[in-house]
A and B are shown apart, each in its own frame.
Chain A
Amino acid sequence: MAILVNRESRIICQGITGRNGTFHSLACRDYGSNLVGGVTPGKKGAFVDGIPVFNTVEEAVQETGANVSLIFIPAAHAKDPILEAVDAGIEVIVCITEGIPPLDTASALFTVKEKGRVLVGPNTPGIISPAEKCKVGIMPGYIHSPGPVGVISRSGTLTYEVVDQLTKAGMGQSTCLGLGGDPVVGLSFVDCLRLFRDDPNTEAVVLIGEIGGSAEEQAADFIKAEFQKPVIAYVAGRLAPPGKRMGHAGAIISGGSGTAQGKIKALKDVGVEVVENLTKVGQVVREVLK
């Protein structure tokens, strides 16, 4: 078991014939993911290393029964493919694209929620369930291993760092996913915690937060109210000056709110094990799960 994606997932890639779309679709398939098709308008009938390409998502869904989509479309045009995936019935939409105008994301997200679908990202490394051999994203597959730890993060490479530590400490992962570094993203920490709560194969969760917004504070409220499994957290950005976007569009302290200190306190207050030294996360998880 895992959350959101598993060996049953039937995945298409929107933008499969682009450089990144091709590279990562094939990397996902090499990992074991069930890549059933791709979409690039005007390229129907083509194949990307044996993967059939369709003109529309609707057609791809009809022909392949796809229910998960991985989106690699340039930021200026990325709202439309999200809506196209929703209308075609895709259940889990993973949008890798960075730099989408936030109002575009917000408007697409409105429809995603209205139709009860899941949007992961944008600006996410994606989602991976190692025991299910299912990777829908751009993360390096080889650092992951199957096991009982769920990982949720707002960052890419920081997640790789933590997952690498977990694997080296002998702590495999059930599902790892990035929420995305933008100010407005689909899936939240709370959404993921709810899914991990109900996943019998997840025994503990590592939550990797960063400055900006209040997703960590909301996670703390949820953990207090209805999450029993152990949570280990790391929050990046204690040295971030206010008003500056720290690489991620969403990583900004504005008007004194969204500080790492505030988030760390909120999580500690509800009993979350907050690790201050990034390099100790793997070790702490191992101690907690002993």
Chain B
Amino acid sequence: MNLHEFQSKRILMEKGVNVPRGTVVYDALEALVAARNLKTDKIVLKAQAHSGGRGKAGGISVLSIDDDVKKVAERILQMTLVTNQTGPQGKPVSALLVEEAPRIDAELYLGVVLDRNHGEVTIMASPAGGMDIETIAREAPEKIFTVKVNPLRGLCPFQARALAYKLTDKNILANQIANAAKALYDIFVGYDCTLAEINPLVVSGETLLALDAKINLDDHALFRRPQMAALRDRSQEDPVELSARLAGLSYIRLEGDIGCMVNGAGLAMATLDLISIHGGSPANFLDVGGGASEQVVADAMNILLDDKRVKVVFINIFGGILRCDVLARGVIKAIKERGLELPVVARIEGTNIDLGRKLFADSGLPIQMMSSLDEAAQLVVAKAKELSGN
């Protein structure tokens, strides 16, 4: 789950990190009032949406107080931001952050992640802030300094200081950098983050300011962070992905026309790959999970059949914990309740396969059963092409 910039900055402020003065607003007149209240010449309007690259997409605007703040605010608030991270459908702008635009003497980077390879929380810092960390890593890896944290000791003050002195010789700044690193580490561990990042962390005279911040939370730990879960902005998430998650399914929207239902994440990804090898294009990734019930399978089927883009449905199940008879009952239940306008191709294998096959056969539904996965994938692709007239 991702937080907005303004939410992330609030959390940083609570931990003692300075952020530019500002207000979050939801309409253009409010933006104008907020801008005037800052009593400063230069202000910045920032679209609040879950994506990087907001500036390039036109979602960030630096203005003078004499400019037409209301008009610019109105334009940004109405935008659907399409960036290199959002996909073609883009993200709506949920709110507008009105801030003073501070003087910038230098831009630093500070971030905390969990290093997957070693299972260690790692703090990264760089004097080359302003660009994303992947770009720094590619173009100037020698400018990234890291500290790995022993989970039993936590981040020691000396580690934070050592990191700070890699970025500056000035004591007054080093102290603030060390404090910001400690704050960011505490946030990362205290709220179970997948990422806590300040970029850029700007030097403005003798003060450090978090000019932009990103805090992403781990979905698997939200159960113990209810105060964070409450910050979820559903407007930033794909509605189908959301409802699938509530049904206990893992669903990701793709751009094609073949609806896929698979059990297991790896097999689901591999099924998409197979469709693509044969020249087809999947409409989605959908993992019904190992312990799916009849109802969950029916919900999954309904999600596929509700999708107007889907021309053919492909069911690929290797029953382990999920039994083939449960799968068959769920699929049949969904189709019997709503009727079937689309061709369905199913390849099922594994636990209780004979019973599953029999249920499909007895249902009288026009579901094409295939025993070879490769041939099933080819058939699905051929049907999709035929139906789209190519």
Interface residues of A (CB under 8 A from B): 75-76, 99-103, 105-107, 109-110, 125, 138-140, 143, 153-161, 164, 181, 183-184, 188, 208, 210-215, 218, 234, 236-251, 255-257, 260, 276-280
Q: What's the Cα separation between A239 and B285 when bound, in Å?
A: 9
Whether B220 and A102, one on each chain, are in contact in the complex, defined by CB atoms closer than 8 angstroms, is yes
- Are A76 and B320 in touch, CB under 8 angstroms? no
With contacts A76-B224, A101-B224 taken as known, whether A251 is within 8 angstroms of B269 at the C-beta atoms is yes
| CB <8 Å contact, B134 and A218 | no
Task: Give 3 nearest A-B pairs by CB, closest first.
Answer: A155-B266, A247-B265, A157-B264
> A156 to B151, alpha carbons, bound, how many Å?
29
B167 at the interface (CB under 8 A from A): no
Closest chain B residue to A113 by CB distance?
A: B119
Complex Cα spacing A246 to B270, Å:
11
Which of A154, A183, A239, A257 has a CB less than 8 Å from the CB of B273? A239
The closest CB in chain B to the CB of A279 belongs to B374
Q: Could you tell me if B373 and A279 are in contact, using CB atoms closer than 8 angstroms?
A: yes
CB distance from B258 to the nearest CB of A (A): 11
Q: How far is the CB of A211 from chain B (nearest CB, A)?
A: 7
Chosen A-B contacts, 29 in total, with CB atoms closer than 8 Å, are A75-B220, A100-B220, A101-B221, A102-B192, A102-B221, A103-B218, A105-B119, A106-B119, A110-B152, A138-B320, A153-B266, A155-B267, A156-B290, A156-B320, A158-B270, A161-B267, A161-B318, A188-B117, A215-B117, A218-B117, A237-B269, A238-B272, A240-B252, A241-B252, A244-B252, A247-B268, A277-B274, A279-B374, A280-B374
Task: Given contacts A110-B151, A247-B250, list 15 more A-B pairs with CB under 8 A.
Answer: A103-B121, A103-B192, A106-B119, A125-B320, A138-B290, A158-B267, A160-B318, A161-B267, A236-B267, A237-B272, A239-B282, A240-B252, A242-B85, A246-B252, A279-B374
Compute how far the CA of A208 lies from the CA of B270 in the bound complex, rounded to whole angstroms: 11
Given contacts A103-B221, A157-B320, A277-B374, contact A164 B349 (CB under 8 A): yes
Given the known interface contacts A106-B119, A138-B321, A250-B116, the answer about A101 and B192 at a Cβ–Cβ threshold of 8 Å is yes
- B194 contact set on A, CB distance < 8 A: 102
Q: Compute the total of residue contacts between A and B using a CB distance below 8 Å.
A: 176
Give the size range of B's interface with the partner.
Answer: 35 or more
A251–chain B nearest beta-carbon distance, Å: 6
A243 touches B85 (CB 8 A): yes
How far is it, in angstroms, between the C-alpha of A248 and the C-alpha of B318 when the chains are bound? 17
Interface presence of B57 (CB below 8 A): no
Q: Which residue of A lies closest to B285 (CB)?
A: A246
B287–A247 touching, CB < 8 Å: yes
Interface residues of A, dominant DSSP = loop
A241 touches B87 (CB 8 A): yes
- Closest-by-CB residue of A relative to B251 is A247
Return the contact of A157 from the options B87, B119, B150, B266 (Cβ within 8 A).
B266
C-alpha gap A155/B264 in the complex (Å):
8
Output the nearest chain B residue to A242 by Cβ-Cβ distance: B85
Query: Is A276 touching B277 in the complex (CB atoms < 8 A)?
Result: yes
Find chain A residues with CB under 8 A from B273 CB: 236-239, 260, 276, 278
Cα separation A183 to B220 with both chains bound (whole Å): 11
Residue B263 lies at the interface, judged by CB distance under 8 Å to chain A: yes
- Give B119-139 as 1s and 0s: 1 = Cβ < 8 Å from A's Cβ atoms: 111000000000011100000
- A99 near B266 (CB under 8 angstroms)? no
Contacts of B266 in A (CB 8 A): 153-159, 181, 208, 210, 236, 247-248, 251
Residues of B within 8 A of A159 (CB): 266
Return A125 CB to nearest CB of chain B, in Å: 8
- Inter-chain CA distance A214–B115, complex, in Å, is 11
| B interface with A by C-beta (< 8 Å) | 85, 87, 114, 116-117, 119-121, 132-134, 150-152, 189, 192, 194, 218-221, 223-224, 250, 252, 254, 262-270, 272-274, 276-277, 282, 285, 287, 290, 318-321, 349-351, 372-374, 377
Q: Which of B132, B223, B276 contacts A239 (CB 8 A)?
A: B276
The residue of chain B having its C-beta at the shortest distance from the C-beta of A181 within the complex is B265
CA distance A215 to B114 in the complex (A): 15
For A140, give its contact among B121, B351, B373 (CB under 8 Å).
B351
A139 to B320, CA, bound (A): 7
Looking at the complex, which one of B116, B221, B276 makes contact with A184 (CB distance below 8 Å)? B116
For B116, B219, B250, which residue has the most chain A Cβ atoms within 10 angstroms? B116
Which B residues are CB-close (under 8 A) to A101? Answer: 192, 218, 220-221, 224
On chain B, the residues within 8 Å of A215 by CB distance are: 117
Given the interface contacts A183-B114, A239-B276, does A248 sit within 8 Å of B265 by beta carbon?
yes
Cβ contact within 8 Å between A157 and B285: no
Q: Which residues of A contact B116 (CB under 8 A)?
A: 183-184, 212-214, 250
Shortest Cβ gap from B273 to chain A (Å): 5
In the assembly, what is the distance between CA of A33 and CA of B112, in Å? 43
**Cα of A105 to Cα of B220 in the assembled complex, Å:** 12
With a cutoff of 8 Å between Cβ atoms, the chain B residues found around residue A107 in the complex are 151-152
- A102-B114, A234-B270, A246-B252 are known contacts. Are A160 and B350 too (CB-CB below 8 A)? yes
* B192 shortest CB reach to chain A, Å: 5
Minimum CB–CB distance from B9 to chain A (whole Å) comes to: 22
Bound form: Cα–Cα A106–B134 in Å = 23
A249 to B87 alpha-carbon distance, docked (Å): 21
B317 to A, closest residue via Cβ: A157
Report the minimum CB–CB distance from A209 to chain B (whole Å): 9
- Rounded to whole Å, the gap between the CB of A67 and the closest CB of chain B is 23
What residues of B have a CB within 8 angstroms of the CB of A276 in the complex? 273, 277
**A223 to chain B: closest CB distance in Å?**
17
Chain A residues, Cβ within 8 Å of B218: 101-103, 249
In the complex, which of the residues B114, B269, B372 contacts A247, with contact meaning CB atoms closer than 8 Å? B269
| Centre residue among A103, A159, A257 by max chain B CB count within 10 A | A103
| Shortest distance between the CB of B148 and any CB in chain A (Å) | 11
Partner of A257, one of B134, B192, B223: B134
Report whether A184 and B250 are in contact in the complex, using a CB–CB cutoff of 8 Å: no
Closest Cβ of chain B to A94, distance in Å, is 16
Question: With the chains together, A99 CA to B245 CA distance in Å?
Answer: 14
Structural contact, A278 and B373, CB atoms closer than 8 A:
yes
**How far, in whole Å, are A138 and B196 apart by their CA atoms in the complex?**
36
Complex Cα spacing A178 to B159, Å = 36
